[in-house]
């Protein structure tokens, strides 16, 4: 197939481009050329908001839109595209209001989520713009993505704590749950959508079982070959000051995804792959001052 991937320079979009190239497809990536390009793909250097005729005379068997964050992003790309087959938009679980019963189901209401704010409402607008113009497009709603090429300071932060032999500052007793999805599994699912063209067009995707913060940190330390010592934080301190995730627990119902793709990469394997990549690409992590905050506030983090 001839496939267009938007972005292609960091984490989800870069992994996606590399995945489909490794499967033998002809992959084009659309970006502004400001960052190193992935291997074995053809870059199309342009801004999706001012495409002109850049894509007008091209045909893509599939468009995988990993980098659309709002309606304008979707509309500008559609305005500039020529002919295409399947369109897949990577949206977000942030489209579900936190007030809905959990686990969130695809046929549930979407709306404002006070935790995610504008990010969530912009993703809703992106979905609505796409569905109004391409009714047979596919929309994926993942939770937290994980795996190799993740340049966010999440697993990387815990890996660094483990490497430095730090005790870990845990929000409360660490029982809050997080739901993840391996980026490689997301690519495999996109591949299934293109091949099978199921009648359902909106899918929650993710591991069917969430893990507690404490379980996740233990797995990260284990990946590095260490065992964490925990300090539980009960003070009224914003969680994101010392921990990489919001104080927000939610769960997605992924039963529809599992019907099509029942076998997933174990989370432990995902973390191993993530650490292997991190060990060779430390300089690419978008770091947050979590350690600095911890070091400056150890007396109050109790």
Strand partners, 65: 89
Assign a CATH topology to domain 2-146+181-204. Answer: Rossmann fold (3.40.50)
- Residue 301's pLDDT band (cuts 50, 70, 90): confident
Q: Is the pLDDT reported for residue 246 higher than 90?
A: yes
pLDDT 10s digits, 184-234? 999 999 999 999 999 999 999 999 999 999 999 999 999 999 999 999 999
pLDDT 10s digits, 152-165? 999 999 999 999 99
The predicted structure's pLDDT at residue 302: 74
Would you call 60 exposed, middle or buried from its count of C-beta atoms within 10 A (0-12, 13-18, 19+)? buried
Mean pLDDT of all residues in 49-56: 96
Q: Which CATH code for domain 155-179+209-249+266-296?
A: 3.90.25.10
DSSP string, the chain: -EEEEE--SSHHHHHHHHHHHHTT-EEEEEE-S-SPPPTTSEEEE--TTS-TTTTTT-EEEEEEE-S--SHHHHHHHHHH--EEEEEEEE--GGGS-TTS-SSB-TTS-----TTTTHHHHHHHHHHHHHHHH-TT-EEEE-SEEESTT--BTTHHHHHHHHHTT--EEEETTS--EE-EEEHHHHHHHHHHHHHH--S--EEE-S-SS-EEHHHHHHHHHHHHT----EEEE-SS--GGGTSSS-S----B--HHHHHH------HHHHHHHHHHHHHH-GGG-B--THHHHHHH-TTT--
Mean pLDDT of all residues in 267-294: 97
Predicted TM-score (pTM) of this structure:
0.96
Write down the domain spans for the chain.
2-146+181-204, 155-179+209-249+266-296
pLDDT 10s digits, 99-130? 999 999 999 999 999 999 999 999 999 999 99
- Residue 235's pLDDT band (cuts 50, 70, 90): confident
The predicted structure's pLDDT at residue 193: 98
């Amino acid at each position: 197939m001839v496939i267009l991937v938007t972005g292609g320079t960091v984490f989800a979009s870069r992994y996606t481009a590399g995945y489909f190239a490794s499967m033998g497809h002809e992959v084009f990536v659309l970006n502004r050329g400001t960052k190193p390009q992935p291997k074995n793909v053809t870059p199309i250097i342009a801004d999706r908001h001012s495409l002109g005729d850049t894509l007008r005379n091209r045909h893509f068997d599939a468009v995988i839109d990993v980098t659309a964050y709002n309606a304008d992003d979707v509309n500008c790309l559609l305005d500039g595209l020529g002919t295409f087959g399947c369109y897949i938009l990577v949206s977000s679980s942030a489209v579900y209001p936190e007030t809905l019963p959990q686990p969130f189901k695809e046929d549930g209401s979407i709306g404002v989520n006070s935790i995610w704010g504008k990010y969530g409402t912009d993703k809703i607008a992106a979905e609505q713009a796409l569905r109004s113009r391409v009714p047979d497009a596919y929309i994926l709603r993942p939770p937290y993505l994980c795996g190799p090429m993740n340049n966010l300071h999440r697993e990387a932060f815990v890996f660094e704590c483990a490497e430095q032999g730090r005790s870990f500052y845990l929000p409360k007793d660490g029982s809050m749950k997080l739901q993840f999805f391996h980026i490689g599994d997301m690519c495999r699912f996109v591949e299934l959508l293109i091949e099978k063209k199921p009648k359902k067009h909106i899918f929650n995707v993710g591991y069917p079982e969430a893990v507690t913060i404490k379980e996740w940190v233990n797995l990260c330390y284990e990946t590095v070959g260490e065992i964490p010592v925990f300090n539980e934080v009960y003070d009224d301190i914003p969680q994101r000051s010392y921990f990489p995730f919001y104080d927000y627990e939610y769960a997605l119902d992924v039963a529809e995804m599992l019907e099509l793709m029942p076998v997933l990469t174990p989370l432990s394997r995902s973390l191993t792959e993530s650490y292997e990549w991190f060990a060779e690409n430390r300089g690419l992590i978008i770091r947050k001052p979590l350690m600095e905050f911890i070091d400056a506030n150890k007396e109050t983090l109790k």
